[in-house]
Structure 1
Amino acid sequence: MHASNALRNILVATDLSSPARHAVRRAAQVASASRASLTVIHVAGGSVLGELQRWLGQDSATETALLETAQHTLQTLSESLGGHMVQPVHQEVARGPVVDRIIDAANRVAAGLIVIGAHGTGYLRRLALGSTAERLLRRSRRPVLVVRQTPHEPYQRVLVPVDFSSSTNAAIELARQVAPNTPLVLLHVWSVPYEGKLRFAGVSQLTIDHYRRSAREEALQKMHQLAARHQLAVDEWTPCVMEGDVTLQISEQEQEHDCDLVVIGKHGHHFVEELLLGSVTQRVLADAQGDVLVTPSSLDE
């Protein structure tokens, strides 16, 4: 990987729950491996502070104490990472709308990666059910790493579903940034379009099988061209071409190849950013056993 493509700044958001601290430790691992700067942010959501003000008044010392406690907790958490970090760890406590503040901070530090936990006691607790975390994934123009597992070690194998579009290139590039020197499994899933209708129209099984062989051979050829374009050595990647349902194959191949990270692109830009994530991305986020890295179609955004 060229140095110019390395991650320089990483932002990790935490709600200070124990599960969310897994995200902080994973962010620290990635930052250390890439020699990136790490910023840890906690956002005191407007709804929480609003309730405090409603019950205890505008000048409540409880609000101040809450923010001070969060700052102290972040400081302690950052100090616990110190021995593993190449660059200093920065802390930030913000207040207001959670997603807005995370995006503001990511823009301010020019984060090449935002890291969040898949579970938590606060705004990260329901990733696939319309939570704030999903809104962050929809709105962010920056890559977002969703951490599910306790980070005992660096990533060992990365699954990258590919469709040979521009988002495929971004996904491979980002996978190599987040998990340098980690083997990649490049997965392409295809199917015979309108197979039932073709049979109904009298197309022979021999013709359909010929199409299957041709489609597989073409996909493998494109896969090797893709690997060559990204300068992947033979021992740095494994091709995997499967027929069937995309999300089912992603789930099966994640387990078959014992992958602990799935890198997948999201759909939607600009005026459609508030729409749902692509259906495949949503299902992968819901079903994946390991961590999921969601990348925009281009890393230049």
Structure 2
Amino acid sequence: MRRIVLATDLSAPARQAAERAAQLSHSLAVPMELLHIVNLELMPRLQNAVPAAVAASLPLRVLKAAQETLETWAADLQSRYAITPTARVIDGELLHELLDAVGDEDAVDSLLVCGATGESIVRHFFLGSTAERLSGRTTCPMLVVKNPVTGPYRHVLVPVDFSPSSLAAIQHVQALAPQAGLTLLHAVELPFQGLLSLAGIGREDIDGYRATVEQEANEKLHALCQQAGLPPSTLLRVVQGEPVASILAQEQGCDLIVMGKHGESRFQKLFIGKNTKKVLAESRHDVLVSV
């Protein structure tokens, strides 16, 4: 990982995300940038609501206040985390400027960090078809911070589906939190399970079918663990059930969940996966959206 970009709306949740970005910047010895994007095209409505003497200078005053706030944050983070973050305020449309800041083709070694609420960048990034298409242009993983920083990540839950993105997710975790313990989770949804009873298949045969599917999943988990070079202490879990519910049921004891951004087809790569959206919205823990 070459750099960390903290995208902030200057809210309290974003300040919490800045703490996590600074902790990672220090532990990984990579540079960090504080980035705030102001869309001055939205300013006229506000200018019409204030006295004329104030309206003329309002854009410059807003930009100056944002820059001063970022520099205050940077100085505080520098003193407490022994890093030297840069601070930058940009005038422009949020998503376009954000994608430009992290880059399109060379962003794989960057990490975008943001808070989960406030004037949420997550809301813009994950809702709406236009935002989803834009998100498909970048190869930058995204860390959504939900909790205060109490130290480095200690245990990470990595749901996997055995696609190539599963290995990529594990590699992102290894780069982001090399000392953390990992739990690899695969949720099994048995095809046609409900129809088997209706078709007259006996309980014993259905149980055997379930055992076979779970055994195959366990074998794939072990193979993936070896492929990724993970230690024998890595926890491997196969559970039966709907993926999102299974992930949320297993998140206790973990402080980070890693989710893939999209599927494997060319069409799916334009969109954020529905399971990722749900986990991002419903999980109590930080979420890393891998690519």
Q: Classify the TM-score, shorter chain.
A: 0.7 to 0.9
1:291 equivalent in alignment to 2:289: no
Q: CA deviation at 1:170?
A: 0.7
CA deviation vs aligned residue, 1:225-256 (integer Å, no higher than 9, x gap):
11111111123x2111101111001000002x
Distance 1:274 1:212, change over 3 A: closer
Mapping for residues 38-77 of structure 1, pairs under 5 Å: 38-52=32-46, 60-77=56-73
Letter of the structure 2 residue corresponding to residue 254 of structure 1 = E
The residue aligned with 2:173 is 175
The residue aligned with 1:246 is 243
Q: CA deviation at 1:148?
A: 0.7
Check the 8 A contact 1:28/1:84 in 2, yes or no: no
Could you state the TM-score of these two structures normalised by the residue count of structure 2? 0.88
1:25 equivalent in alignment to 2:23: no
Distance 1:35 1:84, change over 3 A: farther
CA deviation vs aligned residue, 1:177-210 (integer Å, no higher than 9, x gap):
1112100010001022111212222222222211
Check the 8 A contact 1:128/1:286 in 2, yes or no: no
The residue aligned with 1:149 is 147
Measure the CA separation in 2 of the matches of 1:44 and 1:218: 51
Measure the CA separation in 1 of the matches of 2:72 and 2:137: 30
Letter of the structure 2 residue corresponding to residue 80 of structure 1 = D
Measure the CA separation in 1 of the matches of 2:269 and 2:151: 34
Letter of the structure 1 residue corresponding to residue 280 of structure 2 = L
CA deviation vs aligned residue, 1:120-171 (integer Å, no higher than 9, x gap):
1x24485798389x75756643111111111122112110001111010111
Aligned to 1:234, the other structure's residue is in SS state: coil
Check the 8 A contact 2:38/2:94 in 1, yes or no: yes
The residue aligned with 1:95 is 91
Measure the CA separation in 2 of the matches of 1:138 and 1:294: 12
Measure the CA separation in 2 of the matches of 1:33 and 1:284: 27
Letter of the structure 2 residue corresponding to residue 239 of structure 1 = L
Larger deviation, residues 194-203 vs 163-172? 194-203
Letter of the structure 2 residue corresponding to residue 49 of structure 1 = M
Letter of the structure 1 residue corresponding to residue 127 of structure 2 = G
Mapping for residues 1-301 of structure 1, pairs under 5 Å: 7-52=1-46, 60-85=56-81, 87-107=83-103, 110=107, 112-120=110-118, 122-124=119-121, 126=123, 130=127, 140-235=138-233, 237-255=234-252, 258-267=253-262, 275=271, 277-296=272-291
Percentage of identical aligned residues: 36
Q: CA deviation at 1:86?
A: 5.6
Distance 1:195 1:265, change over 3 A: same
Measure the CA separation in 1 of the matches of 2:268 and 2:53: 40
Structure 1 residue runs of 5 or longer lacking an equivalent are 1-6, 297-301
Check the 8 A contact 2:37/2:89 in 1, yes or no: yes
Q: CA deviation at 1:88?
A: 2.5
Letter of the structure 1 residue corresponding to residue 98 of structure 2 = I
Aligned to 1:187, the other structure's residue is in SS state: strand
Measure the CA separation in 2 of the matches of 1:65 and 1:213: 65
Measure the CA separation in 2 of the matches of 1:84 and 1:50: 39
Letter of the structure 1 residue corresponding to residue 245 of structure 2 = L
Measure the CA separation in 2 of the matches of 1:78 and 1:51: 31
Q: CA deviation at 1:34?
A: 1.1
Distance 1:264 1:65, change over 3 A: same
CA deviation vs aligned residue, 1:242-281 (integer Å, no higher than 9, x gap):
01111001000002xx111100102167766664x21111
Letter of the structure 1 residue corresponding to residue 4 of structure 2 = I
Aligned to 1:141, the other structure's residue is in SS state: coil
CA deviation vs aligned residue, 1:49-70 (integer Å, no higher than 9, x gap):
3434555599821211111111
Measure the CA separation in 1 of the matches of 2:22 and 2:176: 11
